[in-house]
Amino acid sequence: MMNAIVNKKARFDYEIVEKFEAGIALEGSEVKSIRAGHANLGDSFCFVEGDEILLKNCRISAYDKATILPPDELRSRKLLLHRREINRLIGKVREKSLTLIPLSMYFKGRLVKVEIALARGKRSYDKKQTIKDRDNSRDMQRQIADVVRSKSIR
């Protein structure tokens, strides 16, 4: 996935239950801006409005060579999914304590796709455990690298 824009905060704050790939309704200058890497999924989320799923708070900066009237950077953008998938997602969000969050935005051919996930929010003790596991993994990798380095020097 080249030119992928990733929401790093999502995997830390949420437990991912299920992933989906969705298209997104954009204007031409927004596509060029995403291709240049000028998008941010940091505080974005998905919500249900009527029978559609919209992406909110996704900042796509104005393309510098666009027309005089660029689209609003924070406007809500419609996610393009099959009707069956939309109905399933709406049902799961309403019935359980799940939310829809975007994980990444990338190009698939010439189309922009958004990877969204059904997720459950983590508690603070879960986040602390995630940090502890990540630190332990990093320490083990350092120790392995030191052992390999010391053997290669001899």
**Per-residue pLDDT tens digits for 34-91:** 888 889 998 899 989 989 999 999 998 888 877 777 778 888 999 999 999 999 999 9
What is the CATH number for 40? 2.40.280.10
Structural domain including 142 reads 123-154
Same domain, 65 and 128: no
Same domain, 80 and 25: yes
Same domain, 43 and 12: yes
Same domain, 49 and 106: yes
pLDDT value of position 68: 72
- Total count of domains within the chain: 2
Same domain, 36 and 48: yes
Same domain, 140 and 154: yes
8 Å CB contact between 118 and 17: yes
Same domain, 78 and 131: no
Same domain, 114 and 149: no
Same domain, 146 and 79: no
pTM: 0.75
